[in-house]
């Protein structure tokens, strides 16, 4: 006769593991579906709020969109006809639904400044800003993270003092002033870098556009002269943005590491005789990866939308310069289209950081 086990169930041989209990797989699947549904609902509500904000901005701006289309010399009949065609005679909620449907189809209207579809203009200018922000973030991460870790490990030392001064100057100095001084020194006096613009006159338009990233496209085309020319133009503005990025990243990394280095598990690891390098990089640094991802994502998003002054100083044909020129010209279709694109990038970065949370930290699952 089978003897009962400790749970009183005969012949089972011990308790059933939780992961193998009947219905455990279905419950886990339901939890994951609920979590995915919550993420998608949050994403949809965020995008809806973004569209609502941009719609309200377009309506409260003291600019007559009809007048911008028909011109100041249009007759009243022409004005009224355009007013109806643009749907401005309908209730405000119908106007918002129409605006939302058009944006979801990728239709941001036509730019008054360029005469092209706004979506077409954004596809042309956004890769330039993306390339600049990616290089700036890469510089910020490669320099800022090690600088912050070393500053925390050598707290109070001369490296820590240098890191704090670097971060302070990065937060305090006007970016347009640094850009002008950089052009004066490295381009005007020393001649080490290319001047304003994305490429020199000789190579402008010579590389076939595939990705829109001029460094990548020139490599794909095998045009090393165009690659060197493009690199000489992008290195200074990317380094400038990278400096502001590393100021933020190094400061936050130092703060995260100081918190971890004072934890009990670090004291225990040191008592056990582990090397300081292993304690810092294997134990403490691993525990700051999750919040550090958010910092890097926010830094990247800030460079996407905050590089307006840099693009103006360096005549960089990116989305920041595009939105600025459109705003000065009263081209609200272009302004709102660029705003939606930048806001969507922020939402996508937040979603990506949330996914990485779950991959790196099992507790978040």
**Domain match, 255 and 340 both:** yes
Asked if residues 253 and 144 have their Cβ atoms less than 8 Å apart, the reply is yes
Confirm whether 21 is domain-assigned: no
**Domain match, 44 and 150 both:** no
Q: What is the mean pLDDT of residues 158-171?
A: 84
**Domain match, 68 and 95 both:** yes
As a whole number of angstroms, the longest Cα–Cα distance in the chain is 103
Q: What are phi and psi of 308, to 5 degrees?
A: -60, -50
Q: In whole angstroms, give the CA distance from residue 108 to residue 335.
A: 10
Range from 36-45, 116-125, 252-261, 285-294 carrying the lowest mean pLDDT: 36-45
Asked if residues 163 and 149 have their Cβ atoms less than 8 Å apart, the reply is no
Alpha helices in the chain (DSSP H): 24-60, 65-70, 76-85, 92-104, 118-153, 158-172, 175-182, 214-221, 224-261, 264-271, 276-278, 289-305, 308-313, 319-328, 332-360
Which domain-ending residue is among 78, 104, 130?
104
Q: In whole angstroms, give the CA distance from residue 149 to residue 259.
A: 11
Which domain-ending residue is among 69, 104, 139?
104
Confirm whether 9 is domain-assigned: no
**Domain match, 94 and 131 both:** no
Closest CA to 360 of 273, 301, 296, 303: 296
Residues in the chain: 365
Per-residue model confidence (pLDDT) at position 15:
52
Residue range 49-65, pLDDT digits in tens = 888 888 888 777 777 77
Confirm whether 124 is domain-assigned: yes
Confirm whether 157 is domain-assigned: yes
Closest CA to 235 of 287, 291, 194: 194
Q: Is 212 helix (H, G, I), strand (E, B) or coil?
A: coil
**Domain match, 273 and 214 both:** yes
**Domain match, 330 and 218 both:** yes
Q: What is the mean pLDDT of residues 111-126?
A: 88
The reported pTM is: 0.81
Confirm whether 14 is domain-assigned: no
Residue that the structure tokens 């910092």 belong to: 295
**Domain match, 190 and 100 both:** no
**Domain match, 251 and 305 both:** yes
**Domain match, 220 and 320 both:** yes
Q: With the CA atoms of 317, 308, 251 and 349 taken in that order, what torsion angle do they form, in degrees rounded to the nearest 10?
A: -70
Which domain-ending residue is among 41, 76, 104?
104
Q: In whole angstroms, give the CA distance from residue 53 to residue 65.
A: 17
The CATH number assigned to the domain holding 207 equals 1.10.3720.10
Confirm whether 18 is domain-assigned: no
Closest CA to 123 of 262, 358, 353, 317: 317
Residue that the structure tokens 């693009």 belong to: 311
Instruction: 87-95: list long-range contacts, CB under 8 Å, 24+ apart.
Output: 92/59, 95/55
Token pair for residue 307? Answer: 């590089």
Per-residue model confidence (pLDDT) at position 325:
87
Q: Which residues make beta-bridge pairs with 291?
A: none
CA angle 319, 310, 188 (to 5 degrees): 130
**Domain match, 94 and 147 both:** no
**Domain match, 185 and 316 both:** yes
359 pLDDT more than 80 = no
**108 torsion bin: left (phi>0), alpha (psi -120 to 50), beta (else):** alpha
Range from 201-205, 252-256, 359-363 carrying the lowest mean pLDDT: 359-363
Q: How many other C-beta atoms lie within 10 A of the C-beta of residue 261?
A: 19
- Count structural domains, the chain: 2
Confirm whether 344 is domain-assigned: yes
- Averaged pLDDT of the chain: 82
Q: In whole angstroms, give the CA distance from residue 13 to residue 21.
A: 14
Q: What is the mean pLDDT of residues 188-197?
A: 88
**Domain match, 150 and 226 both:** yes
11 pLDDT more than 60 = no
Q: Which domain holds residue 224?
A: 118-364
26 pLDDT more than 90 = no
Residue range 300-316, pLDDT digits in tens = 988 887 678 888 889 89
Confirm whether 176 is domain-assigned: yes
């Amino acid at each position: 006769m089978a003897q009962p086990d400790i749970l009183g169930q005969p012949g089972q041989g011990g308790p059933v593991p939780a992961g193998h209990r009947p219905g455990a797989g279905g419950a886990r699947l339901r939890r994951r579906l609920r979590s995915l549904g919550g993420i998608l609902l949050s994403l949809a509500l965020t995008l809806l709020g973004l569209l609502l904000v941009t719609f309200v901005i377009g309506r409260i701006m003291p600019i007559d969109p009809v007048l911008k289309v028909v011109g100041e010399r249009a007759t009243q009949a022409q004005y009224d006809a355009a007013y109806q065609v643009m749907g401005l005679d309908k209730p405000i909620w119908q106007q918002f639904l129409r605006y939302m449907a058009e944006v979801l189809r990728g239709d941001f209207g036509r730019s008054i400044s360029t005469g092209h579809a706004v979506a077409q203009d954004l596809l042309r200018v956004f890769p330039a800003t993306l390339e600049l922000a990616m290089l700036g973030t890469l510089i910020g991460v490669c320099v800022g993270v090690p600088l912050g870790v070393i500053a925390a490990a050598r707290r109070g030392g001369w490296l820590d003092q240098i890191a704090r001064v670097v971060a302070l100057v990065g937060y305090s100095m006007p970016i347009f002033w640094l850009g002008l001084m950089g052009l004066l020194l490295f381009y005007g006096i020393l001649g080490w870098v290319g001047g304003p613009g994305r490429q020199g006159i000789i190579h402008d338009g010579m590389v076939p556009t595939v990705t829109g990233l001029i460094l990548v496209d020139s490599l794909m085309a095998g045009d090393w002269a165009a690659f060197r020319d493009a690199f000489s133009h992008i290195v200074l503005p990317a380094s400038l943005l990278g400096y502001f990025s590393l100021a933020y990243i190094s400061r936050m990394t130092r703060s995260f590491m100081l918190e971890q280095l004072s934890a009990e598990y670090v004291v225990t690891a040191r008592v056990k005789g582990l090397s300081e390098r292993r304690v810092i990089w294997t134990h403490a640094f691993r525990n700051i990866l999750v919040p550090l991802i958010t910092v890097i994502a926010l830094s990247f998003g800030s460079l996407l939308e905050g590089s307006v002054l840099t693009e103006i100083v360096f005549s960089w044909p990116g989305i920041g310069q595009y939105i600025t020129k459109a705003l000065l010209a009263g081209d609200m279709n272009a302004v709102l289209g660029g705003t939606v694109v930048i806001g969507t990038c922020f939402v996508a970065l937040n979603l990506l950081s949330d996914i990485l949370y779950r991959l790196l930290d099992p507790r978040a699952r």
